[in-house]
Amino acid sequence: MSTTRSISSPERVPYAVVGGAAKARVRKYLFPLSIVILNRGGRLYRETALDDFAAWDAGEVVSVEGPEAAPDIDLLSKKYPAVRFLLLQAECTEGAKVNLAVEEAQAKLVFVVSSDMHVPLSTLSSRILEKIEARGLLCTLPVLKNPRQETIPSLHVPGFAGASLKLVPWNPLYDGMRSAFAFDYSGIYHKEKFRFSGGYDGALRSPYWQKADFGFRASLWGEELAVNTSVFCRYRRDVKGEDNTPDESYKSFYLKNLAVDFRRDRGVLGYGKFPKYFFKSGSSLFGALAEFRAARRWVWENRYRFKTDARRLVDVWPVPE
């Protein structure tokens, strides 16, 4: 089956769905949990990850494959008949891949992991999943460990230094500790809340600012991303640091998140914010005006989803001790 879908991003990626056991849809959600594997690092990591989940029968497994995997897809679908493969027909951002996979998933909870992670299936017990579903967070974050079993500071705590927003990496200190975004996109997403949040903006090319845009926007709209210390993943290789240099993606993040004011019962991006944006954007006058107007139109369309603004959100953010 080939299709073209996207939750909210203007970037629409054609893809085909290959394999997976056919099941009659007798209810809205067929499984308690869908596991989505974002493949990177070549065949070795992909097949190791698929082997990890081959014997797992408590839910479904969805593997997101890039166009380069096309020659292997028939062999893979035969070797792993229970796995559904999403074969992308064009390159796209990691956030766009998450959007597609969540849309295709047949469970209310969707656990997104990377192929270079090991996930102990014991952490996905029915008791833990029931607690996660009952709490109803947009995204439940796992504890992440490096190959030496050391905890990675995967949570990000927001704070302002003057007018600049800082997202400070922090170790997960307690169950329910909040984060401004999902490190490496990894987490257990609530499908309906994810769709309502708009998903990741596939047009943002910076992974760091794409994740920050999703998490911060969701927080401004009243949702939460928080860690569950009973769920953890271990990387099979060391994780590289991310580039958080302000770039074109940051400009969109700034306009749709930091520049928005909350007035009465809605979000507002007033023209009074334009001069500051223009002088710092690096764009021409007409380019900056076009960028600002596009963001202003988006804010107006989503104005009643805002529950607060960036300053107020950070002011009440729980500070780890």
Residue 221 is part of a domain; what is its CATH number? 3.90.550.10
DSSP secondary structure letter of residue 236? S
Structure tokens at 287: 């380019």
Token duo for residue 311: 């300053």
DSSP character at residue 159:
E
Q: In the 8-state DSSP scheme, what is residue 56?
A: -
Computed on alpha carbons and rounded to an integer, the radius of gyration of the chain in Å comes to 20
Residue 84, H or E segment = strand 83-88
76-81 mean pLDDT: 90
pLDDT (mean) for 109-120? 95
Residue 143 pLDDT greater than 50, yes or no: yes
Predicted pLDDT of residue 73: 87
Q: Does the pLDDT value for residue 3 go beyond 60?
A: no
Retrieve residue 69's tokens: 């995997």
Q: What local confidence, expressed as pLDDT, does residue 278 receive?
A: 96
**pLDDT bracket for residue 28 (50, 70, 90):** low
22 and 158 assigned to the same domain:
yes
Q: In which residue are the tokens 């890039």 written?
A: 66
Burial zone of 319 (CB within 10 Å; 0-12 exposed, 13-18 middle, 19+ buried): exposed
Cα–Cα nearest to 73, from 11, 13, 6, 15? 15
231-252: average pLDDT: 93
Task: Tell whether 197 and 296 lie within a shared domain.
Answer: no
Mean pLDDT calculated for residue range 13-32? 70
Alpha helices in 206-307 (DSSP H): 207-220, 248-253, 274-281, 285-301
Q: Using alpha carbons, select from 90, 66, 74 the residue that is nearest to residue 18.
A: 74
Q: Do 59 and 90 sit in the same domain of this protein?
A: yes
Instruction: Please give the share of the chain, as a percent, with pLDDT higher than 90.
Output: 76
- Residues 43 and 85 placed together within one structural domain of the fold: yes
Classify residue 321: in a domain, yes or no. no
Has residue 121 got a pLDDT over 90?
no
Structural domain contains residue 289: yes
> In the prediction, which pLDDT does 22 show?
56
Residues 6+ apart with CB under 8 A from 114: 37, 38, 39, 40, 184, 185, 186
For the cut 90, the answer to whether the pLDDT of residue 298 exceeds it is yes
pLDDT of 217 above 90: yes
The position carrying tokens 């593997």 is 63
122 occurs within a structural domain = yes
Whether residues 126 and 42 fall in one domain: yes
> Contact 36/112 with Cβ under 8 angstroms?
yes
- On whether residue 242 sits in a domain, the answer given is no
Q: What is the pLDDT of residue 2?
A: 34
Q: What is the average per-residue pLDDT within 119-143?
A: 93
pTM passes above 0.85 = yes
Q: What is the pLDDT of residue 114?
A: 96
Nearest CA to 249 among 7, 6, 9?
Answer: 9
Domain count, the chain: 2
Let me know if residue 255 belongs to a domain: yes
Whether residue 152 sits in one domain with residue 300: no
204 contacts: CB under 8 Å, gap ≥ 6: 93, 95, 210, 213, 249, 252, 253
Average of per-residue pLDDT across 18-36: 70
Shared domain check, 220 and 129: yes
241 in a structural domain: no
Whether residue 24 has pLDDT greater than 50 = no
Residues 158 and 299 occupy one common structural domain: no
Q: Are residues 227 and 270 in the same domain?
A: no
* Same domain for 302 and 230: no
- Among the residue ranges 53-57, 104-108, 259-263, the one predicted with the least confidence is 53-57
Residue 139 forms beta bridges with which residues? 189, 225
pLDDT tier at 241, thresholds 50, 70, 90: confident
pLDDT of residue 31: 74
In a domain, 72, yes or no: yes
3-state secondary structure of 55: coil
Give the separation between CA 168 and CA 113, rounded to whole angstroms. Answer: 22
Give the span between the Cα atoms of 62 and 197, in whole angstroms: 22
More confident residue, 312 or 124: 312
Please indicate, yes or no, whether residues 73 and 95 belong to a single structural domain of this protein: yes
Q: What is the pLDDT of residue 1?
A: 34
Domain end (from 214, 235, 256): 235
Which of 180, 203, 235 marks a domain boundary? Answer: 235
Pairing of β 13-18 and β 2-5? antiparallel
Of 209, 235, 261, the domain-final residue: 235
Question: Cα separation of 248 and 235, whole Å?
Answer: 30
pLDDT per residue over 151-207, tens digit each? 999 999 999 998 899 999 999 999 999 999 999 999 999 999 999 999 999 999 999
Query: Do 155 and 262 reside in the same domain of the chain?
Result: no
pLDDT on residue 21: 63
pLDDT category of residue 25 using cuts at 50, 70 and 90: very low
- Average pLDDT score over the chain: 90
- Domain limits for position 13: 2-235
| Domain-embedded: residue 320 | no
The structure tokens listed for 220 are 């401004």
